[in-house]
Structures are given as structure tokens and as C-alpha cells.
Amino acid sequence: MDIGEARSILDVAHSAFVSMDEDGRILYWNTRAEEMFGLTRAEAVGRPLADTVIPERLREAHWSGLRRFLQTGEGAVLNQRVEMSALRSDGSEFPVELTISALADAGVWTFHAFVADNSERVRAEQDRERLLDELQVALRGTEQRLSVIVEALAEAVTIRGPDDRLLHANRAALDRMGLSTLEELRAADPRMLMEGWETVGEDGREVRLEDLPSVRILRGERPEPLMMRSVHRRTGEEQWVLLKATAVRDAQGSIEAAVTIIEDVTAAKRASLRLEFLARASQMLASSLDYQETLRNVAGLAVPQIADWCAVDLFDEDGEREPVAVAHVDPSKLEMAERLREFEPDELDLDQGLGLVRRTGQPILYNEIPDELLVAAAVDEEHLGLLRGVGMRAVLIVPMIARGRTIGTLTLVSAESGRIFDEGDVEFAGQIAERAALAVENARLYSERSNVARTLQSSLLPEALPAVPGWEIAALYRPAGHESEVGGDFYDLWQVDGDWLMMIGDVTGKGAPAASVTSLVRHTAWAASEFDSRPTEVLARVDGALKRRPSLSVCTALCMRLSLGRGTLASGGHPLPLHIGERGVSEIGHHGTLLGAFPTVDWPETSFKMQPGETLVAITDGVTDTVGLGDERFGQTRLKELLAQAQNDPPVAVRERLVAALEEFQVGSQVDDTAILIMRFTGTRAGAGHGTQVPSATEV
Amino acid sequence: MIHASSFKIHTELDAGAARATLVGELDIATVPRAEHAIDALLKDGARSLVIDLSDISFIDSSGLRLFIALNDRAASEGFELGLIRPTDRSLAVFQITGAEQNLPFVDDSEGAP
């Protein structure tokens, strides 16, 4: 390659290329150099390089370096990347990165340098430092108040910078991470910080750094809030957290950090998981009279969400145990369980383990499994080896009690997951065991499915209506058809943030499929209301949950949030509630989309006020669709007339009147389920609302 | 005795174009019959299906569910579905549930074979 060829290549090179002779004069200057320094080749060639591109303060060093090299052959800056400041022809300085090499030709030296403009990178670094400073100022300095607020939040709050490192965390967040100072936090590798926990999402898959909402925001994505289960590797403590991240943008709109609010939703999430589990277990227990198979299914349901191992043992009349079910999420481990079983005597030791639970009817919780315990339980060396091999972290044994007799035990073992059990787990396991015991007992005593269906139906409705301050409430549920069938109507009433949420709904279909949708709707509404109790939001969550089911699952539901003398409501394709007041009976609220059915959705929310003595009546369509003579339906008009007559009745009397009217009207047997919820506002003792007249049940 | 709703279904199938005319009350008691008749049309190779609801006097939530399921099925199996509107009285269930905007209602003239 001759010089000309080399130069034409250098002319199109992306980097600036500059050559200099022994006298320090510019020999060559490529096109990129022209752009970078703002000087044409004709202007540059022949001029001293130092005067052209080197800031004045650095020129002396340049000349002395050149002299030293020519004398000694030593160059401090040769053949390595050097960062320095350079000068444009307009006198402005900018950061560059360059590599200089020296070539000798016939005893004469020439110097060549590739020069890259470093402004962008340096600016990015400076920006990051500035951001850090600003954040620190914002959080600790002049904006003391913000800092106080962030610190005071019960929720943990963290701020993540563009390099994924955490820049800031409030006290709650530091405590969560087991750190004591912000310096420790900033020095920590973000991946290492996550190492202390085992983190999985709701789908059971591991959550990695890349999956965190804050990290995804910094990648320019728009992540949904992430629900994550974390188990502390050392303490075994399990937590459910909801991570919501927001982007912090600079004046130009680019993302410079991500703020995450880490909400501890352990209690709500566990409650919802447990409810879901109970609903599914109840359904399973009611689905078959083959209780052995059913118990196996229930045990399978418990792993790995509740425990790593789940076993069910029943006792016969003579107190001998009958192992019925054992489940582990990994089928290969089951073999180990089978082998362990072989060592265990059928005759129970009444002073420990299952025998003790059978004798006392009390649960036992071992959150520490010292080796001595295994030694005491083992019958021989081989047995001990197997027991040690399970790697038990915690064991919980609860009795299955039916008719006052301990008929079996449910055993939960935590091993691989490393979590421990708490009192909530004991209570929850007790509830499962109670239902399982009931199912076994029912199966043993009766061969009719109807009993099981009744049990299940009652498990889908609140056991008793809670006492709601300021409100008097009566409810009615009348399932249609065979007793062995479970209906699809439901209602529920529960407390959230000092207000009360009421839900009434109708799942189309009957039997076990409808029951499983009903329980899904109820537990979803429960859990959703913990996060956002606005009726519209609760309906949206239920709609989402129904749409995630593999088969079409639709449901109408009315959701109301009640406070003293006022409320809000939204309807998902459900008949609107009727308001009974001085001025008669009228529907309140606006219609909204059926749940689980359609891509286009809208649940307008309506606020209303109530005067003392006024009543709300929520029904399912089984009421108005009741069939009378000549295929006539009971209808809305008849319902309104009846309620108008009941204007001054307390809820229980309204209910009795309505039931009597329906029974009189109805011809033949009832076709559809019927649910009714009647709520009268009794007012407060303080007599709020007497001074100012608010329009009654008007939408405000 | 179980209430027997008065309900009739009349079906035609011509060169892949099917029409089902529903008369009377479509509720939890009669939906299985409607479902059965419509299934038969699809099994016999209907590629387009018009369901005439103009003579329907009552529809409950299980009737509505039938049309939602059919609409989902039309999307996944690739047949054409058109519903001819019922009268005002029985249209209510479609209106209060938002189904009116989400189900493929057609004018009678378009749907007629």
C-alpha cells in the first residue's frame, strides 16, 4: 500500500488522524480532523501542532516531551491511550482520547495520532455525577422535607441510577436489605444485593436483576408493577412485595433514574393465596367421594406454594396410621418419601410427632430442626441418614379433627425453599385440615353428593354478615335446582381502610366450574381491594383475572364502597342497586361492562349520598327473572312497587316481604339462583347530616 | 315441576351459509337446546352464521354467555358470525353488560341469505 492509498483510507476514517514531524509541524490532517478542530488541511499542514490543537497551558509539556524523545528515545505518552484536552480553531476546549505512535524512516522520526472526540462520554459521566449530587441535595440538603417524607414512608423506597446501581434508599429500604448506611448501598454491586434472597414471581419463576421494574425502566421499557416473593436465605423469612417503579426524567425528558416503591404485601398476598388454595381445596374435596384420591390432590395443591412437602395421614379406630398422601414438587423426591415411610412404625409414638398431635389434638410447629430431634426420631442408622438427607428446615403438623375426634394429620415440611412457618401458617394449615377432615367424614358417613355441595356452597358465602357501623344489613341466598349442584350467585362484605366493600355477583353456569370461578372472583376482589379499593379498580382486577383463565369465564358483579352516609359504586354488567327513600324507589349508578368477556371495557364509578333511614337493595337477576304464570317474569317494575311499600321496613322485614312475593309469584320450581343484599343506613349517633340537607341518593 | 320456557329454534344451511332463528325465551333452561342446534350447524360446515334474535322475548345471562362464547369461537375457528338485534325489551341484557359494543350485531338486510 503506498502513501496515497493509505491517505485516502485515512481520509474516510471515523477518527481524526494527525501526523507531525520532528520539528513539531503538522504533516498530515485527515477529513475528520478538519471537522473536529475546525481547520482545513491546507490551513493546518505546516503549522506547529502545539499552537494549533494543544491548549496553551499544556504546550510546554508537549515541547519538552518531544525533545526528550528525540534525545533519549523515551516517550511517556507513546503507544497508549491518553486522555487530554484539545483546542478547536475557535479557541474552545474539548476532551479527546488519543493514541500516538512514532515511526522512524531513514533516521527521521514522524509522529502519528488517532484522535477521538470524548465530549459525549465525559458529558455522560458528568451528568451522572451531577444527578447524584442533585439527588443527594434533593433528598438530604435543601429539600429536607422531601427527605423527611421519604424516610417516614413505611414503604421502602429506592432510587436506581442509569448504571443499575442504587443511589439512594430510605431507612425502610436499607433495613430490608440489611444495610446500615447509604455508602454501603452505593458501593454494593446490584446483583450481589439480590443474592441474599431467593426471589420468584407469581408464576414461580426466578426474578433476576433484569426483571426488576426499575431496571426495565432504565432500559426504556414500561413495566407493570411486579409482585415478587422473597425468602431471606439466612433467616428463612418469607415476604411478598409489590415493586412499583417510576422514571425520573431530566429537563430534556431522558430517563436519569428510577424510583421504586417496595410495598410489603405479605399479609394481603398470603390471605389471597390461602383463600385461593382453600377455594380450590374445597372444590376438590367436594368433587369426589373418593377421599383418598381427593386428599392426594389437596396435598399436591399445597406444594410448592405452601410448603415443599405435604403429607396426609389418617388414623383408624385402633390408632394405627394409614399414610394417604405425600407430595413434593419434584417427583424424584417422592421415592425418598416412600423409603422413609418404610421405616416408620404403624404404631405411633404418642410422645412425639404425629402421635403427640393425635393424642393432644394440638398442632406442633418445629421451626428449628436440631440433629438431636432427627436422632430421637430415627429407628436406625439408615433411617437417620435418610432423615438428614431431606434437609428439613421446618415442620408443621396439624390435626384433622372431625366431630371432636382427631382422624388424621396434615404435615407440612419446608426444606429446599428455606422458609420457616409462622402463626399464620399454623392457622391456615388448620383450616385446610379442618376442611379435609370434614370431607373425609362426609365421604365416610354419606354417599350423597348433596352434603358436600352444601358444605362447598356455604364456604363460598360469608359465614355471617359482619356488623357494619351505621348500617343495618340483611341478605338472602336461594340456590336453584338440585341440592347437589352449587350455584353461581354470591355476595360478600368486607372491611377495607375503615370503609366497607360490598360485592354481589352472578357467575353463569352451575356446579364445580361455576364454584371455582366464584371463588376466583371473591379472592381476587379481596386481594385487589387491599391495593386499591375503588369499585372501578376492583372490577378491573376481577375482569383481568377472569380473562387469564383458559376457558371463557364471565361474571356480572356490582361493587360498592360504603362509608357513613355516602358511597361509591360501579357495575360490571350487573343490575344496578335500587335506592329506597322519601321520594320513592330508583336505580342508582351507571352500567358497566360484563367481567371476563370483552376487550373493550368501561366501569364508570358513581358517588352517592344516603340519609338515615334510606335503604339500598342489590339483587341478582334471579329475582327479576323469576317466572310466573304465562311465562311472565317478576321484572323490575314489580320489584320497585314492592320496595316502595316496604319503605319504612327494616332490612329483615324487606327481605321477608320480597321472599313471600317471589314465592307467591313463582310457578314451578326456581330456575335461577337468587341473591339479595339489603342495606339500610341508620346514621350515626352524632346525627351527622341533620344540619345540612344533602340531596338523597343523588349522584354527586 | 321445572318451568319449561317456550322456546323454538329454526335452522337453515345453504352452501356454507347458515341462519338460526330463535323464537321465545332464551334462558338457563333453553340455552342448551340453542347451543346444540348451533353446534350442529357448525359441524355441518357452516362458514358464516347469522343468528336472528328479532323474535326473542327474553334473554338472561346464560343466553348472553352463549353469544360471547360463540363470538370467541368465530374468532378462533374463523367463521363469520352476525347477530340480528332483538327487540328493545330483550336488548336490555346486551346494553347493561356492554355486549352491544362488543358483539357483531348486523342489520337484517345484510344478514339475510
3-state secondary structure A526-595: HHHHHHCCCHHHHHHHHHHHHHCCCCCCCEEEEEEEEECCEEEEEEECCCCCEEEECCEEEECCCCCCCE
- Residue A335 confidence (pLDDT) above 50: yes
- Residue A247 confidence (pLDDT) above 90: no
- Judged by average pLDDT, the poorest of A138-152, A465-479, A492-506, A570-584 is A138-152
Q: Do B96 and A575 touch (CB under 8 A)?
A: yes
pLDDT at A689: 37
Looking only at the bridges linking them, the beta strands covering A555-563 and A499-507 are antiparallel
Q: The complex's ipTM?
A: 0.86
Q: How far apart are CA A52 and CA A47, in angstroms?
A: 7
How does residue A463 score in pLDDT terms, banded at 50, 70 and 90? low
Residues 8-27 of B with CB under 8 A from A: 25, 27
Tell me the per-residue pLDDT of A164-176, one tens digit each, with 9 for 90 and over.
888 888 888 888 8
How far from chain centre, in Å, is Cα A611? 39
Nearest Cα of chain B lies from the Cα of A597 at a distance, in angstroms, of 7
How far from chain centre, in Å, is Cα A60? 64
Tell me the per-residue pLDDT of B89-100, one tens digit each, with 9 for 90 and over.
778 888 889 898
Tell me the per-residue pLDDT of A659-675, one tens digit each, with 9 for 90 and over.
899 988 887 766 677 88
Nearest Cα of chain A lies from the Cα of B101 at a distance, in angstroms, of 8
List the single residue in A with minimal CA-CA distance to B26: A625
How does residue A552 score in pLDDT terms, banded at 50, 70 and 90? confident
By percentage, how much of chain A surpasses pLDDT 70? 84
Nearest Cα of chain A lies from the Cα of B15 at a distance, in angstroms, of 30
3-state percent breakdown (helix, strand, coil) of chain A, nearest 5: 40, 30, 35
- Residue B60 confidence (pLDDT) above 60: yes
- Residue A139 confidence (pLDDT) above 60: no
* Residue A605 near residue A592 (C-beta atoms within 8 A): no
pLDDT at A654: 93
Residues of chain A found within 8 Å of residue B8, distances taken between Cβ atoms: none
pLDDT at A214: 92
- Judged by average pLDDT, the poorest of A8-12, A184-188, A425-429, A643-647 is A8-12
- Residue A537 confidence (pLDDT) above 90: yes
How many CB atoms are closer than 10 A to CB A169? 24
Taking the complete model, does pTM exceed 0.80, yes or no? no
Q: At what angle do helices A449-459 and A423-445 cross, to 10 degrees?
A: 150
Q: Do B25 and A597 touch (CB under 8 A)?
A: no
Q: Does A602 touch chain B (CB under 8 A)?
A: yes
Q: How far apart are CA B28 and CA B20, in angstroms?
A: 19
Q: Do A597 and B101 touch (CB under 8 A)?
A: no
How does residue B37 score in pLDDT terms, banded at 50, 70 and 90? very high
pLDDT at A224: 85
Question: Looking at the partner chain, which of B1, B61, B72 has a beta carbon nearest the beta carbon of A621?
Answer: B61
Q: Does B48 touch chain A (CB under 8 A)?
A: no
DSSP secondary structure, A669-684, as one string: B--S-EEEEEEEE---
pLDDT at A555: 93
Reduced to 3 states (helix: H, G, I; strand: E, B; else coil), residue A498 is coil
**Count of CB pairs separated by less than 8 Å, A with B:** 81
Q: Could you give the angle at the alpha carbon of A298 between the alpha carbons of A295 and A300, nearest 5°?
A: 110
Q: Do B1 and A554 touch (CB under 8 A)?
A: no
Q: Give the mutation candidate from A549, A602, A627, A663 for the B interface (greatest B CB count, under 10 A).
A: A627
Q: Which residues contact A43 (CB under 8 A, 6 or more apart)?
A: none
Residues of chain B found within 8 Å of residue A573, distances taken between Cβ atoms: 96-99
Radius of gyration of chain B (CA): 13
Average pLDDT over residues A73-78: 77
Question: Looking at the partner chain, which of B4, B58, B97 has a beta carbon nearest the beta carbon of A556?
Answer: B97
Tell me the three cell numbers of residue B99.
355486549
Amino acid residing at A587: E
pLDDT at A129: 66
Q: Does B72 touch chain A (CB under 8 A)?
A: yes
Mean of the per-residue pLDDT values for chain A? 81
By percentage, how much of chain A surpasses pLDDT 90? 21
pLDDT at A439: 75
Tell me the three cell numbers of residue A124.
455522560
Tell me the backbone φ, ψ of residue A655, rounded to 5 degrees: -60, -45
- Residue A602 confidence (pLDDT) above 90: yes
Q: Give the mutation candidate from B1, B2, B3 for the A interface (greatest A CB count, under 10 A).
A: B3
- Residue A631 confidence (pLDDT) above 50: yes
How many CB atoms are closer than 10 A to CB B7? 21
Tell me the backbone φ, ψ of residue A488, rounded to 5 degrees: -105, 0
Average pLDDT over residues A533-540: 95
- Residue A141 confidence (pLDDT) above 50: no
- Residue A146 confidence (pLDDT) above 60: no
Q: Which residues are paired to A676 by β-bridges?
A: A476, A619
Looking only at the bridges linking them, the beta strands covering A364-366 and A394-402 are antiparallel
Give the burial string for A573-600 (b: 16+ CB within 10 Å, else e): bbbbbbbbbeeebeebbbbbbbbbbbee
Nearest Cα of chain A lies from the Cα of B34 at a distance, in angstroms, of 15
Q: How far apart are CA A115 and CA A96, in angstroms?
A: 7
pLDDT at A481: 55
Reduced to 3 states (helix: H, G, I; strand: E, B; else coil), residue A7 is helix
Amino acid residing at A321: R
Residues of chain B found within 8 Å of residue A593, distances taken between Cβ atoms: 97-98, 102
Strand spans (E) along A151-191: 156-160, 166-169
Reduced to 3 states (helix: H, G, I; strand: E, B; else coil), residue B24 is strand
How does residue A690 score in pLDDT terms, banded at 50, 70 and 90? very low
Distance (Å) of CA A219 to CA A161, A215, A216, A319, A579: 11, 6, 5, 62, 51
Nearest Cα of chain B lies from the Cα of A581 at a distance, in angstroms, of 24
Reduced to 3 states (helix: H, G, I; strand: E, B; else coil), residue A476 is strand
Residues of chain A found within 8 Å of residue B26, distances taken between Cβ atoms: none
pLDDT at A699: 41
Q: Do A573 and B3 touch (CB under 8 A)?
A: no
Exposed, middle or buried by CB within 10 Å (0-12, 13-18, 19+), for A521?
buried
- Give the sign of the dihedral formed by CA A347, CA A353, CA A354, CA A358: positive
